[in-house]
Amino acid sequence: MMEQRQRGLLALAFMVLAIAVALPQLAIGKRIEKRCLNCSYRTYYTYGDGRSLQRVVYRDPVYTRAAQSYGCSGNPCGVNAVCQEAAGGRPVCSCPPGYSGNPLTHCNRGECLDNVDCRGDLQCKDNRCVNPCVGACGIGSNCDARNHVAVCSCPAGYNGDPYHACHLNDPEEQCHPSPCGVNTKCEIINGVPTCSCHHGFLGNPLSGCRHECEHDGDCSSRDMCSNFKCVPSCGQCGSGASCKTVANHRAVCECPKGYIGSAYTECRPECYGDVDCPSGRPACFYGICKNTCEGACGVGADCNLRGLTPVCSCPRDMTGDPFVRCRPFTKEDLCDPNPCGTNTICVPGHDNTGRERPVCNCLPGHTGNPLTHCTRGECLSNNECPDHRACINYQCIDPCIGKCATGASCEPKAHLAVCRCPPGQSGDALVSCRQTRTFPVAKYH
Protein backbone atom coordinates (compact mmCIF):
# COMPACT_ATOMS: atom_id res chain seq x y z
CA MET A 1 0.00 0.00 0.00
CA MET A 2 2.77 2.43 0.92
CA GLU A 3 4.49 1.70 -2.35
CA GLN A 4 1.29 2.38 -4.29
CA ARG A 5 0.86 5.79 -2.62
CA GLN A 6 4.44 6.69 -3.44
CA ARG A 7 3.81 5.79 -7.07
CA GLY A 8 0.70 7.97 -7.06
CA LEU A 9 2.56 10.94 -5.66
CA LEU A 10 5.32 10.42 -8.16
CA ALA A 11 2.78 10.29 -11.00
CA LEU A 12 1.18 13.54 -9.83
CA ALA A 13 4.55 15.19 -9.80
CA PHE A 14 5.24 14.04 -13.36
CA MET A 15 1.81 15.26 -14.48
CA VAL A 16 2.36 18.71 -12.96
CA LEU A 17 5.76 18.83 -14.61
CA ALA A 18 4.25 17.81 -17.97
CA ILE A 19 1.59 20.52 -17.73
CA ALA A 20 4.22 23.10 -16.86
CA VAL A 21 6.22 22.02 -19.88
CA ALA A 22 3.14 21.85 -22.17
CA LEU A 23 1.54 25.19 -21.25
CA PRO A 24 4.07 27.26 -23.25
CA GLN A 25 3.39 24.99 -26.17
CA LEU A 26 -0.35 25.77 -26.36
CA ALA A 27 -1.05 27.14 -29.80
CA ILE A 28 -4.05 28.43 -31.76
CA GLY A 29 -4.67 27.15 -35.26
CA LYS A 30 -2.00 24.31 -35.31
CA ARG A 31 -1.41 20.96 -33.64
CA ILE A 32 1.41 20.32 -31.13
CA GLU A 33 3.75 17.54 -32.04
CA LYS A 34 3.82 14.67 -29.59
CA ARG A 35 7.05 14.68 -27.60
CA CYS A 36 6.35 11.83 -25.21
CA LEU A 37 4.71 8.47 -25.39
CA ASN A 38 2.61 9.01 -22.27
CA CYS A 39 1.15 12.40 -23.25
CA SER A 40 -2.40 12.91 -24.50
CA TYR A 41 -3.47 15.84 -26.67
CA ARG A 42 -7.05 17.15 -26.32
CA THR A 43 -8.77 20.10 -27.95
CA TYR A 44 -9.53 22.65 -25.23
CA TYR A 45 -11.56 25.15 -27.36
CA THR A 46 -12.59 25.27 -31.04
CA TYR A 47 -13.43 28.57 -32.79
CA GLY A 48 -16.04 29.07 -35.52
CA ASP A 49 -13.44 29.41 -38.27
CA GLY A 50 -11.85 26.03 -37.44
CA ARG A 51 -9.02 27.21 -35.24
CA SER A 52 -8.57 25.24 -32.01
CA LEU A 53 -6.88 25.53 -28.64
CA GLN A 54 -5.35 22.24 -27.39
CA ARG A 55 -3.96 21.05 -24.11
CA VAL A 56 -1.38 18.31 -23.39
CA VAL A 57 -1.93 15.97 -20.44
CA TYR A 58 0.73 13.56 -19.24
CA ARG A 59 -0.61 10.15 -18.17
CA ASP A 60 1.55 7.69 -16.29
CA PRO A 61 0.45 4.13 -17.24
CA VAL A 62 0.72 2.92 -13.67
CA TYR A 63 -1.10 5.96 -12.22
CA THR A 64 -3.85 5.85 -14.90
CA ARG A 65 -4.87 2.37 -13.85
CA ALA A 66 -4.94 3.43 -10.24
CA ALA A 67 -6.90 6.64 -10.96
CA GLN A 68 -9.79 4.77 -12.56
CA SER A 69 -11.08 4.00 -9.11
CA TYR A 70 -10.87 7.62 -7.84
CA GLY A 71 -13.92 9.31 -9.56
CA CYS A 72 -13.16 12.34 -11.78
CA SER A 73 -9.48 12.43 -10.78
CA GLY A 74 -8.69 10.07 -13.61
CA ASN A 75 -10.52 12.35 -16.14
CA PRO A 76 -12.65 9.51 -17.50
CA CYS A 77 -14.75 11.79 -19.75
CA GLY A 78 -14.33 12.60 -23.44
CA VAL A 79 -12.93 15.68 -25.14
CA ASN A 80 -14.58 18.96 -24.09
CA ALA A 81 -16.75 17.03 -21.59
CA VAL A 82 -17.33 18.03 -17.98
CA CYS A 83 -16.95 15.50 -15.19
CA GLN A 84 -18.90 15.71 -11.95
CA GLU A 85 -18.78 13.23 -9.11
CA ALA A 86 -22.08 11.74 -8.02
CA ALA A 87 -22.84 9.98 -4.76
CA GLY A 88 -20.15 7.48 -3.82
CA GLY A 89 -17.56 9.24 -5.99
CA ARG A 90 -19.05 7.90 -9.25
CA PRO A 91 -17.97 10.12 -12.19
CA VAL A 92 -20.77 11.63 -14.35
CA CYS A 93 -19.80 13.07 -17.75
CA SER A 94 -21.76 15.75 -19.63
CA CYS A 95 -21.24 18.19 -22.48
CA PRO A 96 -21.01 21.88 -21.42
CA PRO A 97 -23.48 24.51 -22.74
CA GLY A 98 -23.01 25.11 -26.47
CA TYR A 99 -21.57 21.63 -27.00
CA SER A 100 -23.16 18.39 -28.17
CA GLY A 101 -22.09 14.78 -28.73
CA ASN A 102 -21.10 11.78 -26.62
CA PRO A 103 -19.56 13.09 -23.37
CA LEU A 104 -17.72 9.78 -22.91
CA THR A 105 -15.82 10.26 -26.15
CA HIS A 106 -16.07 13.77 -27.61
CA CYS A 107 -18.25 16.91 -27.21
CA ASN A 108 -18.40 19.08 -30.31
CA ARG A 109 -18.78 22.81 -29.84
CA GLY A 110 -21.63 24.36 -31.81
CA GLU A 111 -21.02 26.83 -34.57
CA CYS A 112 -22.15 29.68 -32.28
CA LEU A 113 -23.33 30.51 -28.81
CA ASP A 114 -24.79 33.94 -29.58
CA ASN A 115 -25.38 36.22 -32.58
CA VAL A 116 -21.98 37.83 -32.02
CA ASP A 117 -20.37 34.55 -33.13
CA CYS A 118 -22.07 34.88 -36.58
CA ARG A 119 -21.74 37.31 -39.45
CA GLY A 120 -24.03 40.34 -39.43
CA ASP A 121 -26.36 38.76 -42.01
CA LEU A 122 -26.66 35.48 -40.05
CA GLN A 123 -28.43 34.58 -36.83
CA CYS A 124 -27.42 32.06 -34.14
CA LYS A 125 -30.14 29.43 -33.85
CA ASP A 126 -29.66 26.05 -32.20
CA ASN A 127 -25.88 26.71 -32.08
CA ARG A 128 -25.80 27.21 -35.85
CA CYS A 129 -25.43 30.38 -37.90
CA VAL A 130 -28.48 30.47 -40.18
CA ASN A 131 -30.15 33.00 -42.47
CA PRO A 132 -32.75 34.93 -40.37
CA CYS A 133 -34.87 35.62 -43.46
CA VAL A 134 -35.94 31.99 -43.83
CA GLY A 135 -39.69 31.94 -43.11
CA ALA A 136 -39.64 35.37 -41.48
CA CYS A 137 -41.46 37.58 -44.03
CA GLY A 138 -44.91 37.42 -45.63
CA ILE A 139 -45.97 36.57 -49.15
CA GLY A 140 -44.55 38.86 -51.84
CA SER A 141 -42.32 40.80 -49.45
CA ASN A 142 -38.58 41.45 -49.52
CA CYS A 143 -36.22 40.46 -46.70
CA ASP A 144 -32.93 42.06 -45.77
CA ALA A 145 -30.82 40.56 -42.95
CA ARG A 146 -29.37 43.35 -40.82
CA ASN A 147 -27.55 42.90 -37.53
CA HIS A 148 -28.68 39.25 -37.29
CA VAL A 149 -32.38 40.31 -37.69
CA ALA A 150 -34.72 39.86 -40.65
CA VAL A 151 -36.02 43.25 -41.92
CA CYS A 152 -39.13 42.75 -44.10
CA SER A 153 -40.49 45.32 -46.57
CA CYS A 154 -42.92 45.45 -49.46
CA PRO A 155 -41.46 46.00 -52.96
CA ALA A 156 -41.97 49.27 -54.81
CA GLY A 157 -45.54 49.51 -56.07
CA TYR A 158 -46.82 47.20 -53.34
CA ASN A 159 -48.14 47.83 -49.87
CA GLY A 160 -49.54 45.87 -46.97
CA ASP A 161 -48.04 44.14 -43.95
CA PRO A 162 -44.63 42.82 -45.07
CA TYR A 163 -44.69 40.26 -42.26
CA HIS A 164 -48.02 38.88 -43.58
CA ALA A 165 -48.53 39.69 -47.28
CA CYS A 166 -47.87 42.48 -49.79
CA HIS A 167 -50.28 43.33 -52.58
CA LEU A 168 -50.25 45.64 -55.61
CA ASN A 169 -50.98 49.30 -54.85
CA ASP A 170 -54.44 50.76 -55.60
CA PRO A 171 -53.97 54.48 -56.34
CA GLU A 172 -57.28 55.35 -54.65
CA GLU A 173 -56.06 53.79 -51.43
CA GLN A 174 -53.74 56.74 -51.02
CA CYS A 175 -56.81 58.82 -50.18
CA HIS A 176 -58.17 56.30 -47.63
CA PRO A 177 -57.59 57.50 -45.03
CA SER A 178 -57.27 60.96 -46.43
CA PRO A 179 -53.93 62.68 -45.85
CA CYS A 180 -55.69 66.05 -46.16
CA GLY A 181 -57.07 68.30 -43.46
CA VAL A 182 -60.70 69.05 -42.59
CA ASN A 183 -63.10 70.57 -45.12
CA THR A 184 -60.99 69.25 -48.00
CA LYS A 185 -61.22 66.67 -50.75
CA CYS A 186 -58.53 64.21 -51.84
CA GLU A 187 -58.05 63.29 -55.52
CA ILE A 188 -55.48 61.10 -57.27
CA ILE A 189 -53.82 63.14 -60.00
CA ASN A 190 -51.04 61.43 -61.98
CA GLY A 191 -50.82 58.79 -59.30
CA VAL A 192 -50.27 61.37 -56.53
CA PRO A 193 -52.85 62.23 -53.81
CA THR A 194 -53.78 65.89 -54.23
CA CYS A 195 -55.60 67.92 -51.57
CA SER A 196 -57.88 70.90 -52.25
CA CYS A 197 -60.34 72.96 -50.22
CA HIS A 198 -64.09 72.53 -50.58
CA HIS A 199 -66.02 75.27 -52.38
CA GLY A 200 -66.42 78.29 -50.14
CA PHE A 201 -63.46 77.35 -47.95
CA LEU A 202 -59.90 78.59 -47.93
CA GLY A 203 -56.64 77.80 -46.18
CA ASN A 204 -53.97 75.10 -46.34
CA PRO A 205 -55.63 71.87 -47.52
CA LEU A 206 -52.89 69.79 -45.90
CA SER A 207 -53.64 71.12 -42.41
CA GLY A 208 -57.30 72.09 -42.90
CA CYS A 209 -59.55 74.57 -44.69
CA ARG A 210 -62.07 76.92 -43.14
CA HIS A 211 -64.60 79.57 -44.11
CA GLU A 212 -63.35 83.05 -44.70
CA CYS A 213 -64.93 83.81 -41.34
CA GLU A 214 -66.90 81.98 -38.67
CA HIS A 215 -67.60 85.06 -36.56
CA ASP A 216 -66.96 88.80 -36.66
CA GLY A 217 -63.61 88.41 -34.94
CA ASP A 218 -62.20 86.79 -38.09
CA CYS A 219 -62.76 90.02 -40.04
CA SER A 220 -61.18 93.47 -39.87
CA SER A 221 -62.52 96.04 -37.43
CA ARG A 222 -64.78 97.70 -40.06
CA ASP A 223 -66.11 94.45 -41.51
CA MET A 224 -68.59 91.88 -40.24
CA CYS A 225 -69.06 88.17 -40.94
CA SER A 226 -72.12 87.47 -43.10
CA ASN A 227 -72.72 84.07 -44.68
CA PHE A 228 -69.13 83.12 -43.78
CA LYS A 229 -67.75 86.07 -45.72
CA CYS A 230 -66.33 89.36 -44.51
CA VAL A 231 -68.45 92.27 -45.78
CA PRO A 232 -68.41 96.00 -44.89
CA SER A 233 -70.36 96.65 -41.71
CA CYS A 234 -71.82 99.89 -43.11
CA GLY A 235 -73.95 97.82 -45.45
CA GLN A 236 -76.34 97.45 -42.53
CA CYS A 237 -77.58 100.99 -42.95
CA GLY A 238 -80.87 101.62 -44.74
CA SER A 239 -81.50 103.65 -47.80
CA GLY A 240 -81.00 107.36 -47.29
CA ALA A 241 -79.08 106.72 -44.05
CA SER A 242 -75.44 107.51 -43.42
CA CYS A 243 -72.90 105.31 -41.61
CA LYS A 244 -71.52 107.35 -38.75
CA THR A 245 -68.99 104.81 -37.45
CA VAL A 246 -68.40 101.10 -36.84
CA ALA A 247 -68.28 99.70 -33.31
CA ASN A 248 -67.66 96.01 -32.60
CA HIS A 249 -68.15 95.19 -36.30
CA ARG A 250 -71.63 96.84 -36.25
CA ALA A 251 -72.51 99.98 -38.17
CA VAL A 252 -73.84 103.00 -36.29
CA CYS A 253 -76.31 104.46 -38.79
CA GLU A 254 -78.24 107.74 -38.66
CA CYS A 255 -80.70 109.52 -40.85
CA PRO A 256 -79.68 112.86 -42.33
CA LYS A 257 -80.98 115.98 -40.64
CA GLY A 258 -84.57 116.66 -41.60
CA TYR A 259 -85.30 112.99 -42.33
CA ILE A 260 -87.05 110.52 -40.10
CA GLY A 261 -87.55 106.79 -40.03
CA SER A 262 -85.27 103.88 -39.27
CA ALA A 263 -81.68 104.44 -40.25
CA TYR A 264 -81.36 100.68 -40.76
CA THR A 265 -84.33 100.45 -43.13
CA GLU A 266 -85.16 103.79 -44.73
CA CYS A 267 -84.86 107.44 -43.91
CA ARG A 268 -87.73 109.57 -45.26
CA PRO A 269 -90.08 112.28 -44.04
CA GLU A 270 -93.82 111.38 -43.64
CA CYS A 271 -95.17 114.01 -41.36
CA TYR A 272 -94.18 116.90 -39.20
CA GLY A 273 -97.30 116.97 -37.06
CA ASP A 274 -100.64 115.27 -36.46
CA VAL A 275 -102.31 117.57 -38.95
CA ASP A 276 -100.25 115.92 -41.64
CA CYS A 277 -101.68 112.43 -40.83
CA PRO A 278 -104.95 110.84 -42.05
CA SER A 279 -107.84 109.97 -39.71
CA GLY A 280 -106.97 106.27 -39.67
CA ARG A 281 -103.49 107.13 -38.39
CA PRO A 282 -104.00 110.39 -36.62
CA ALA A 283 -100.78 110.53 -34.62
CA CYS A 284 -97.48 111.71 -36.06
CA PHE A 285 -94.57 110.05 -34.32
CA TYR A 286 -91.08 111.09 -35.39
CA GLY A 287 -92.35 111.93 -38.83
CA ILE A 288 -94.42 108.72 -39.18
CA CYS A 289 -98.22 108.67 -38.97
CA LYS A 290 -99.50 105.93 -36.69
CA ASN A 291 -102.71 104.61 -35.12
CA THR A 292 -101.87 104.55 -31.44
CA CYS A 293 -104.16 101.55 -30.89
CA GLU A 294 -101.94 99.35 -33.05
CA GLY A 295 -100.24 96.88 -30.71
CA ALA A 296 -101.41 98.76 -27.62
CA CYS A 297 -104.05 96.29 -26.30
CA GLY A 298 -104.12 92.57 -25.65
CA VAL A 299 -105.80 89.79 -27.63
CA GLY A 300 -109.59 90.13 -27.74
CA ALA A 301 -109.55 93.55 -26.08
CA ASP A 302 -111.28 96.69 -27.34
CA CYS A 303 -109.27 99.84 -28.06
CA ASN A 304 -110.79 103.32 -28.18
CA LEU A 305 -108.97 106.55 -28.75
CA ARG A 306 -109.44 109.47 -26.46
CA GLY A 307 -107.75 112.06 -28.53
CA LEU A 308 -104.53 110.29 -29.40
CA THR A 309 -104.45 108.10 -26.25
CA PRO A 310 -105.49 104.43 -26.67
CA VAL A 311 -107.91 103.09 -24.01
CA CYS A 312 -108.00 99.25 -23.67
CA SER A 313 -110.88 97.29 -22.12
CA CYS A 314 -112.41 93.80 -22.23
CA PRO A 315 -115.92 93.35 -23.67
CA ARG A 316 -118.83 93.05 -21.17
CA ASP A 317 -119.09 89.25 -21.50
CA MET A 318 -115.35 88.71 -21.12
CA THR A 319 -112.70 89.13 -18.46
CA GLY A 320 -108.93 89.22 -18.22
CA ASP A 321 -106.12 91.71 -18.62
CA PRO A 322 -107.04 93.99 -21.52
CA PHE A 323 -103.36 94.67 -22.13
CA VAL A 324 -102.63 90.91 -22.46
CA ARG A 325 -105.73 88.83 -23.32
CA CYS A 326 -109.51 88.87 -22.83
CA ARG A 327 -111.54 85.65 -22.55
CA PRO A 328 -115.09 84.55 -21.69
CA PHE A 329 -116.12 84.24 -18.03
CA THR A 330 -115.91 80.77 -16.35
CA LYS A 331 -116.76 79.42 -12.88
CA GLU A 332 -113.08 79.49 -12.02
CA ASP A 333 -113.12 83.26 -12.40
CA LEU A 334 -115.16 83.43 -9.14
CA CYS A 335 -112.00 82.43 -7.29
CA ASP A 336 -109.51 84.42 -9.37
CA PRO A 337 -108.33 86.50 -7.69
CA ASN A 338 -108.88 84.53 -4.46
CA PRO A 339 -111.41 86.38 -2.26
CA CYS A 340 -110.71 84.13 0.74
CA GLY A 341 -108.23 84.52 3.60
CA THR A 342 -104.81 82.99 4.00
CA ASN A 343 -104.37 79.18 4.19
CA THR A 344 -107.74 78.69 2.52
CA ILE A 345 -109.11 77.17 -0.64
CA CYS A 346 -111.74 78.76 -2.85
CA VAL A 347 -114.18 76.66 -4.90
CA PRO A 348 -117.07 77.86 -7.07
CA GLY A 349 -120.44 77.32 -5.35
CA HIS A 350 -123.95 78.67 -4.91
CA ASP A 351 -125.69 80.72 -2.26
CA ASN A 352 -129.16 80.05 -0.82
CA THR A 353 -130.80 81.67 -3.83
CA GLY A 354 -128.92 79.46 -6.27
CA ARG A 355 -126.68 82.21 -7.56
CA GLU A 356 -123.04 81.32 -8.23
CA ARG A 357 -120.61 82.62 -5.67
CA PRO A 358 -117.15 81.68 -4.30
CA VAL A 359 -117.11 79.31 -1.27
CA CYS A 360 -114.15 79.59 1.12
CA ASN A 361 -112.83 76.68 3.22
CA CYS A 362 -109.80 76.24 5.41
CA LEU A 363 -107.09 74.00 4.03
CA PRO A 364 -106.99 70.42 5.41
CA GLY A 365 -105.43 70.48 8.86
CA HIS A 366 -106.25 74.17 9.39
CA THR A 367 -108.88 75.90 11.49
CA GLY A 368 -110.18 79.43 11.75
CA ASN A 369 -112.28 81.88 9.73
CA PRO A 370 -111.73 81.06 6.03
CA LEU A 371 -112.80 84.58 5.07
CA THR A 372 -109.86 86.09 6.96
CA HIS A 373 -107.23 83.58 8.14
CA CYS A 374 -106.86 79.85 8.86
CA THR A 375 -104.19 78.50 11.20
CA ARG A 376 -102.66 75.09 10.85
CA GLY A 377 -103.74 72.67 13.59
CA GLU A 378 -101.40 70.99 16.03
CA CYS A 379 -101.76 67.66 14.23
CA LEU A 380 -103.28 65.91 11.27
CA SER A 381 -103.29 62.36 12.71
CA ASN A 382 -102.61 60.51 15.97
CA ASN A 383 -99.07 59.77 14.77
CA GLU A 384 -98.17 63.42 15.36
CA CYS A 385 -99.30 63.28 19.02
CA PRO A 386 -97.80 61.60 22.09
CA ASP A 387 -99.07 58.14 23.01
CA HIS A 388 -101.35 59.55 25.76
CA ARG A 389 -102.90 62.17 23.45
CA ALA A 390 -105.25 61.87 20.49
CA CYS A 391 -105.57 64.13 17.42
CA ILE A 392 -109.08 65.58 17.69
CA ASN A 393 -110.07 68.59 15.57
CA TYR A 394 -106.40 68.96 14.61
CA GLN A 395 -105.38 69.32 18.28
CA CYS A 396 -103.52 66.85 20.53
CA ILE A 397 -105.83 66.50 23.53
CA ASP A 398 -106.54 63.97 26.28
CA PRO A 399 -108.66 61.20 24.73
CA CYS A 400 -110.31 60.58 28.16
CA ILE A 401 -112.21 63.87 28.10
CA GLY A 402 -115.91 63.00 28.06
CA LYS A 403 -115.34 59.36 27.13
CA CYS A 404 -115.93 57.42 30.42
CA ALA A 405 -118.97 57.20 32.68
CA THR A 406 -119.30 59.24 35.83
CA GLY A 407 -117.17 57.73 38.57
CA ALA A 408 -115.18 55.58 36.16
CA SER A 409 -111.43 55.89 35.86
CA CYS A 410 -109.79 56.57 32.49
CA GLU A 411 -106.26 55.82 31.32
CA PRO A 412 -105.10 57.07 27.88
CA LYS A 413 -103.16 54.44 25.93
CA ALA A 414 -102.16 54.40 22.26
CA HIS A 415 -104.21 57.55 21.64
CA LEU A 416 -107.37 55.86 23.03
CA ALA A 417 -109.35 56.21 26.29
CA VAL A 418 -109.32 53.03 28.41
CA CYS A 419 -112.23 53.24 30.90
CA ARG A 420 -112.52 51.09 34.06
CA CYS A 421 -114.90 51.00 37.00
CA PRO A 422 -113.21 51.58 40.37
CA PRO A 423 -112.64 48.61 42.70
CA GLY A 424 -115.89 47.63 44.44
CA GLN A 425 -117.98 48.86 41.54
CA SER A 426 -119.20 47.15 38.41
CA GLY A 427 -121.00 48.02 35.22
CA ASP A 428 -120.18 49.45 31.79
CA ALA A 429 -117.41 51.98 32.39
CA LEU A 430 -118.53 53.87 29.26
CA VAL A 431 -122.12 54.20 30.60
CA SER A 432 -122.21 53.94 34.41
CA CYS A 433 -120.54 52.26 37.36
CA ARG A 434 -122.51 51.15 40.43
CA GLN A 435 -121.69 49.74 43.84
CA THR A 436 -121.38 46.00 43.86
CA ARG A 437 -124.05 44.48 46.14
CA THR A 438 -123.48 41.27 48.17
CA PHE A 439 -126.22 39.02 49.46
CA PRO A 440 -125.96 36.68 52.46
CA VAL A 441 -125.69 33.04 51.59
CA ALA A 442 -127.79 30.61 53.60
CA LYS A 443 -125.92 27.91 55.38
CA TYR A 444 -127.43 24.48 55.94
CA HIS A 445 -126.30 22.06 58.58
pLDDT at 427: 84
On the question of pLDDT at 288 being above 60, the answer is yes
- Single out the residue of 227, 221, 251, 229 nearest to residue 238, CA to CA: 251
Instruction: Tell which residue, 188, 214, 209, 187, has the closest CA to residue 197.
Output: 209
Q: Looking at residue 173, what is its pLDDT?
A: 79
> Bridge-partner residues for 294, per DSSP?
none
Which residue(s) pair with 346 in the sheet? Answer: 360
Contact between 236 and 253 (Cβ < 8 Å)? yes
Separation of first and last alpha carbons in the chain: 141
Cα distance between residue 372 and residue 335, in whole Å: 15
Whether the per-residue pLDDT at 98 is higher than 90: the answer is no
Highest mean pLDDT among 70-84, 102-116, 216-230, 280-294: 216-230
Is the bond leading into 177 cis (omega within 30 degrees of zero)?
A: yes
Q: Sign of torsion, CA 187 188 189 194?
A: positive
24 falls in which pLDDT band (50, 70, 90)? very low
Look at the pTM and tell me if it is higher than 0.75: no
Round to whole Å and give the CA distance between 212 and 382. Answer: 76
pLDDT in tens, 335-359: 888 889 998 999 888 888 888 888 9
Which region among 36-45, 157-166, 295-304 has the lowest average model confidence (pLDDT)? 36-45
pLDDT in tens, 239-274: 889 999 999 999 999 988 767 788 999 888 778 888
